[in-house]
Structure 1
Amino acid sequence: MKEKSNLGRRTGLGITAEGDMLAALGIRYGTEEANEFSTEVHKQLAVTAYRSSVQMAKERGAFPIYNAENEKNNPFIRRIKDADPSLYEEMCTYGRRNIALLTIAPTGSVSLCTQTTSGIEPVFMIAYTRRRKVNPNDKSTKVAFVDQNGDAFEEYQVLHPKFKVWAKTKGYDPEELKYLSAKELEKLIEQSPYHKATAHDVDWVMKVKLQGAVQQWVDHSISVTVNIPENVSESIVSKIYQTAWESKCKGMTIYREGSRDGVLVKQGNTTNSNQNEKFGETNAPKRPKTIEAEVIRFKNKEEDWVAVVGIMDGRPYEIFTGKANSFSALPSWVKKGWVTRVKASSKEPARYDFSFTDQDGYNVIIQGLSRMFLKEYWNYAKLISGILRHGMPLPNVVNLIDKLRLDDDNIMTWKNGVARALKRYIKEGTKIKQACPECKQETLIYKDGCVTCMNCGHSKCG
């Protein structure tokens, strides 16, 4: 690997803070003027970098596999030749030190250190919430968010540093900006060169055209992400990719807002997005005659109990529970089967039959689940089934069952078993809107079938 690397001596000279450069010059990102200016900047950078590499070749020798004849028709080399013919002649005579020199690398972390925009990107946002991954077991951290993978993050508010520099030139105290209301801040942004030039409101097609123009003067690749809103149309996405291809971009990434839990979050998006939804009735999906079912066994005090959970579209649709000795026809090895709703006549109530395939491959039917279970437990199970059918989120169903306060100890133990049975269907990493009983932080998630705090590590199973 070292030998092959030395044959070409690739380097990756690049830039960052292009968005801030344009803003400082009073040029709005995503315009024809901005694209033309940026292209000229990268042209000068490329020519100067190649001139430096040729000079080093004079002093130390060219990279070992240099051959002017092999690359005379290379489009990039031809652009260097057109931009500076004398440089090209020198390069043919002496070669150059490096086979390729330029890269616009991912500079997200670097831009945090430089407090600037990243690479050739526009500013992400003037004001936003940033997430930093943390160790939830570290007592000095305060977990504010847990993603779908169970990773913990802390959050802090950010105001773009170079916007604060601009505001200072207009007589504002940068430290006072954080006390402005959202409306006051928006009004100030409208007066700045960053107005209509952030990642979310820039002209995306013009942004891709900028990448294509800059790519003409970068011999390696360019790291770029086009940020688009969640409700963007397919035609716009198609137009962005089409433009990238037409502009001869080497690569390009589109990030649609909401497609994953981001590290950077628009202010106002950190709270529940459903808070504006209207209250209304829901209709349960029509039950097929037969649905798949899973058999779960649990303890109610010292007694063995069985839960038959009907599954539709991968989530619990209904549940039947009772003592295992009342369900003696069901072998202990049975884990899956089917529940069939049977309506003999309009005058008789429907019954539910459970069927499974035995070890010899024969279908076995156990008729009338309801007659095998105590009426009281059956009625409670019917109530829970009704909630499941109408689509209440499973964490809410479990929370509702947990909060039931019943007089009979047997029923209290039974409902705990039902809650445990349903918990296994909750997706790993699902966040619970409750405070941890130990650290009082709202950082509880479902993990390995238990409720676990990502802040202090407290865990409760069952």
Structure 2
Amino acid sequence: MNSDKIYTFEEAFEASLPYFGGDELAARVWVNKYAMKDSFGNIYEKSPSDMHWRIANEIARIEEKYENPMTAKQVFDLLDHFRYIIPAGSPMTGIGNEYQIASLSNCFVVGLDGDADSYGAIMRIDEEQVQLMKRRGGVGHDLSHIRPKGSPVNNSALTSTGLVPFMERYSNSTREVAQDGRRGALMLSVSIKHPDSEAFIDAKMTEGRVTGANVSVKIDDAFMEAAVNGQPYVQKFPIDSEAPKCTREIDASKLWGKIVHNAWKSAEPGVLFWDTIIRESIPDCYSDLGFRTVSTNPCGEIPLCPYDSCRLLSINLYSYVVNPFTKEARFDYELFKSHVAAAQRIMDDIVDLELEKIEKIMEKINADPQSEEVRGAEYHLWEKIQRKSGMGRRTGVGITAEGDMLAALGYTYGTQEATDFSVGIHKTLALAAYRSSVNMARERGAFEVFDAGREANNPFINRIKEADPQLYDDMVKYGRRNIACLTIAPTGTTSLMTQTTSGIEPVFMPVYKRRRKVNPNDTEVHVDFTDEVGDSFEEYIVYHNKFIKWMEVNGIDTKKKYTQEEIDQLVAKSPYYKATANDVDWLMKVRMQGAIQKWVDHSISVTVNLPNDVDETLVNKLYVEAWRSGCKGCTIYRDGSRSGVMVAVEKKDKKNDVKASDSVTPCKHPEVTEVRPQVLDCDVVRFQNNKEKWVAFVGLLNGYPYEIFTGLQDDEEGIVLPKTVTKGKIIKQLDENGKKRYDFQFENKRGYKTTVEGLSEKFNPEYWNYAKLISGVLRYRMPIVHVIKLVGSLQLKSESINTWKNGVERALKKYIVDGTEAKGQKCPNCGHETLVYQEGCLICTSCGASRCG
């Protein structure tokens, strides 16, 4: 039963603060994201203990339906203080919450069989995506069924527009759905076999496009072989047809190079090694019964069939280390195995609780005042999800605190020794979880379509057979309760509450700085610096929780205010030295992921963090190694390709030191170059205002905007440019009269270079003169954010020129890479400018709200 007692934020925060040992961020995260609330935001729990009892009582209620039930106290002891078992966000907020009608599933995949390329089918997927997001779920779906651009269609359009317009549609729908302080999460995927896959890969490279979705490419082994060996590759549509309507031979290595470049530049697209996913997938043994995997959830750790969903839970690995950070440290395997068995059992109970939630959702839909026609589509969606969830009873048991576990045992993350130990832990987890699922099959019955014969040749099942023949024999005899059991998801804000490293990742930084804006007239604050616009900031040191534990165990004063040199010395002595996200050997990290993947039946969400100055060759090497190592997917993040707010604690180079705002990672500006090089790299940025098509040519020096040419395109006074052109060169030279001339040169699809001569003459002189003004301030390295403000402040009477202002602002926003734009990025939940980039998501350090993408 829910309590009627309502607490204020302050009451819940103050009660939670001692629970988390004074960790303000953890307390805020819990109150804002996980305390039970109604639809009006009223808070009904005072501390995490209330939440854990709520969950424990509901799990115990389900347990009573079966043999050998766990008690509420037994479940509570596993959950308390986030020590052992941590349900993911949707189960944590939804279990036992009678005030909100929402699913307990973290992720869904949707997709229609048959003629899914029709407008009706495409619109239905859009509707289903929105309906799921409003219930708090993340959604993934595949676009490989949409016919390529230029294909004939049986409507007034005559030919298909291809994938990209529908990417925009689905992205925009995602951004429209609010989920309690965050936006919905969407994964769009497409097969590399699809003739429009190149357009899909390029779609997010244009500023402002497809901002509401993560994108990943499904890559098969044949493409990888062709890319690595410089061979041609044939794309076709339909992608799996023996008699395709169209085929296209491409240079695989060239398209692969584009994937690598875009990932290097923007951290997307991610890659999904689809043949590995399907080959290893146990549910695909039942593909003809509706379990054919088509896409993944937004973070990539759960490949799913249409209308299946998954609930997630993680086990805190650090808590099984006895005598952490000492020479006597050891891992308690027996306790771990018993808790894994309980976690798998709790996950199965949560499937029952989800089926109850779906019943309530369907009851609400039937009671809604809309017409049957409107209600019918949503009701049918949940009928399909209910059916698939009940058939397979899929679960998602995972882990968190891998990095802290290794450090506490004296291993250095990223070494072969650490990797070998981790693989052993995940093998132990897999065997214990599957043993639990088999035991539940004996007590509760196997999942509906279990057939040992179908699974006989599955590589994952055969690894279990080899490791534990008795377990395999029992599974053949009794079946298994769950079609698939395991995953490793990002643990984001939940790791803030466990106060550990996140998921399988190493520590981000054992010591880092945070900055907060302060009133310089306040006598209680210390102003460390003032930024370009006069705002004052205080800087303070934050220690990773388990780094403090290491200090305590080793008798190091945790209250002392250390100098920078002393901090460096402390880190160097600790087991976190050379084991941070930016320190670990990148090849070893993907090999570690591939080795652990052998014991995870779903997938692993992991990011390879790279410094800003790495080249694309390394990204290529990492992706190829990930494929060869058996990874199911891979994501890289190069520092600076997206902005964040945590700043590494390191010695300052006074020569290159710059002032920064609360959300800035300091970086060195390029040197001012007064003499313009003859040739500059150029980005082409297209945009539209008031139904007018515009184009901007942005000349780049060392990747930084140096000049800009803008104007209308495709009109008599403008410029005609192929729509596929996104890059080229701006060449400065003198004409026959000695007058400066700027030409734009680009390469077409066949590799021929084409030049647009006299670029400056192609635009209206008024646009050109203002563009020269903006180019002047760009060349002297005025920060982009201030250039944008300058453009916006121009007092221009002409409506067309004001349209031009909007276009320039939008074009230049693409290049805000030094973090200063975060001064304008406020948390949608609490309004503070305190966003931290973590695992593909922006997380507010004030209130814990998050959004991905």
TM range (shorter): 0.5 to 0.7
Q: Distance in 1 between matches of 2:773 and 2:797?
A: 9
1:155 and 1:220, CA in 2 relative to 1: closer, same or farther beyond 3 A? farther
Instruction: Flag the 1:209–1:402 CA change in 2: closer, same or farther, 3 A.
Output: closer
Cα offset for 1:282? 3.2
In 1, the alpha carbon distance for the partners of 2:717 and 2:482 equals 67
Paired residue for 1:238? 620
Structure 2: how far apart are the matches of 1:454 and 1:21? 33
Contact 1:56 1:96 in 2 (8 A): yes
Output aligned runs, 1:17-32, within 5 Å: 17-32=401-416
Instruction: Quote how far apart the aligned CAs of 1:273 are.
Output: 2.1
Q: Indicate how the Cα distance of structure 1 residues 112 and 428 shifts in structure 2: closer, same or farther if over 3 A, else same.
A: farther
Residues 170 and 426 (structure 1), Cα distance of their counterparts in 2 relative to 1, 3 Å cut: same
**Structure 1: how far apart are the matches of 2:508 and 2:779?**
40
1:165–1:418 CA distance, 2 compared to 1 (3 A): farther
Distance 2:771 2:442 in 1: 87
Q: TM-score, normalised by structure 1?
A: 0.62
Distance 1:266 1:63, change over 3 A: same
- Given that 1:27 and 1:33 are in contact with CA atoms closer than 8 Å, whether structure 2 keeps it comes out as yes
| Structure 1 match to 2:573 | 191
Q: Aligned runs of 1:200-215 on 2, under 5 Å?
A: 200-215=582-597
Correspondence for 1:93 among 477, 485, 490? 477
Contact residue 66 and residue 96 of structure 1 kept, 8 A: yes
**1:207-229 per-position Cα deviation (integer Å, ceiling 9, x unaligned):** 11111111111111111111011
Give the match's secondary structure for 2:397: coil
Select the structure that is richer in helix: 2
1:16 matched to which residue of 2? 400
- After superposition, where does 1:90-129 map in structure 2 within 5 Å? 90-129=474-513
Q: Is 1:227 paired with 2:621?
A: no
Q: CA deviation at 1:9?
A: 0.6
Match among 161, 171, 181 for residue 563 of structure 2: 181
Q: Check conservation: 1:200, 1:229, Cα contact below 8 A.
A: yes
1:387 maps to amino acid: G
Deviation, structure 1 residue 173: 2.6
In the alignment, what sits opposite 2:552? 168
Q: Decide whether aligned partners of structure 1 residues 392 and 337 sit closer, same or farther in structure 2, where only a CA change above 3 A counts.
A: farther
Q: Give, in angstroms, the shift of residue 7 of structure 1.
A: 1.1
SS of 2:633's equivalent?
coil
1:83-139 Cα deviation digits (max 9, x unpaired)? 11111111111111111111111112111111111111111111235699xxxxxxx
**Relative to 1, partners in 2 of residues 1:67 and 1:427: Cα closer, same or farther, differing over 3 Å?**
same
Distance 1:13 1:186 in 2: 37
Are the aligned partners of 2:485 and 2:601 in contact in 1 as well (CA < 8 Å)?
Answer: yes
Residue aligned with 1:15, SS: strand
Question: Relative to 1, partners in 2 of residues 1:56 and 1:131: Cα closer, same or farther, differing over 3 Å?
Answer: farther
Flag the 1:184–1:84 CA change in 2: closer, same or farther, 3 A.
same
* CA contact 1:122–1:197 (8 Å) conserved in 2: yes
Match of 1:67 among 408, 428, 451: 451
Residues 10 and 265 of structure 1, relative CA distance in 2, 3 Å threshold: farther
- Give the stretch that moved more between structures: 421-430 or 107-116: 421-430
- Match 1:274 to one of 655, 663, 668: 668
After superposition, the Cα gap between the structure-2 partners of 1:251 and 1:265, relative to the gap in structure 1 and judged at 3 Å, is farther
1:239-285 deviation line (CA, Å, top 9, x unaligned): 2112211111111211111111135443478365236x555533386
**TM-superposition CA deviations, 1:174-233 (whole Å, max 9, x none):** 233xx3222221111111111111111101111111111111111111111110111113
Work out whether residues 284 and 389 of structure 1, in 8 Å CA contact, stay in contact via their aligned partners in 2.
Answer: no
Once residues 795 and 773 of structure 2 are traced to their aligned partners in structure 1, the CA distance between those partners, rounded to angstroms, is: 13
Rounded Cα–Cα distance in structure 2 between residues aligned with 1:389 and 1:37: 52
| Contact residue 581 and residue 609 of structure 2 kept, 8 A | yes
Residue 776 (structure 2) aligns with: 387
* Matched-pair contact (CA < 8 Å) for 2:392–2:449: yes
Structure 1 residues 131, 16: CA separation in 2 closer, same or farther (over 3 Å shift)? farther
Which SS does the other structure have where 1:175 is aligned? coil
- Segments of structure 2 that go 5 or more residues without pairing to the other structure are 1-384, 517-537, 651-659, 681-694, 700-706, 720-733, 741-760, 817-821, 826-830, 834-853
Instruction: Provide closer, same or farther for how the CA distance between residues 68 and 385 of structure 1 changes in structure 2, counting only shifts above 3 A.
Output: closer
**1:184–1:65 CA distance, 2 compared to 1 (3 A):** same
Q: Does 1:427 align with 2:821?
A: no
Question: More relative contact order in 1 or in 2 (CA 8 Å, sep 6+)?
Answer: 1
User: 1:252 corresponds to which letter in structure 2?
Assistant: C
Q: Quick check: which has more Rg, 1 or 2?
A: 1
By how many angstroms is 1:381 displaced? 8.6
SS in 2 for 1:5: helix
Q: Is 1:46–1:217's contact at 8 Å kept on the other side of the alignment?
A: yes
Q: Distance in 1 between the 2:623 and 2:642 partners?
A: 20
639, 644, 647: which is aligned to 1:262? 644
Unaligned runs of 5+ residues in structure 1 are 133-153, 288-309, 320-334, 351-365, 374-379, 404-414, 434-441, 446-452, 456-462
Q: Structure 2 length normalisation: TM-score?
A: 0.35
Paired with 1:72 and 1:385, the residues of 2 have a C-alpha distance of 67
SS at match of 2:546: helix
Distance 1:217 1:443 in 2: 44
Which amino acid counterpart does residue 426 of structure 1 have in structure 2?
E
Change (3 A) 1:205 1:120: same
The offset of 1:168, in angstroms, is: 1.3
**Matched position secondary structure for 1:227:** strand
How far apart in 2 are the matches of 1:343 and 1:247? 56
* Structure 2 contact 792–809 (Cα < 8 Å) conserved: no
Which stretch of the first structure deviates more once superposed, 66-75 or 390-399? 390-399
In structure 2, how many angstroms separate the alpha carbons of the residues matched to 1:183 and 1:317? Answer: 48
Q: Which residue of 1 aligns with 2:676?
A: 283
Give the drift of 1:388.
5.9
Structure 2 Cα separation of the partners of residues 266 and 317 of structure 1: 37
What secondary structure sits across from 1:255 in the alignment?
Answer: strand
1:248 matched to 2:630: yes
CA deviation vs aligned residue, 1:372-406 (integer Å, no higher than 9, x gap): x9xxxxxx999958836956657666888999xxx
Contact 1:443 1:454 survives alignment (8 Å): no
Equivalent pairs: percent with the same residue? 48
The answer as to 2:428 corresponding to 1:34 is: no
In the alignment, which residue of structure 1 is the partner of 2:684?
none
- Distance, in Å, in 2 between the alignment partners of 1:20 and 1:54 is 31
In structure 2, relative to structure 1, the CA distance for the partners of 1:226 and 1:170 (3 Å cut) is same
Tell me: CA distance 1:83–1:388, structure 2 relative to 1, closer, same or farther (3 Å): closer
Which amino acid in 1 is paired with 2:402?
A: E
The amino acid of 2:494's aligned partner reads V
1:100–1:343 CA distance, 2 compared to 1 (3 A): closer
Native 8 Å contact 1:226 1:253 kept in 2: yes
Deviations 1:266-318 (A, max 9, x none): 3478365236x55553338699xxxxxxxxxxxxxxxxxxxxxx976486569
Amino acid across the alignment from 1:184: E
Whichever residue aligns with residue 61 of structure 1, its letter is G
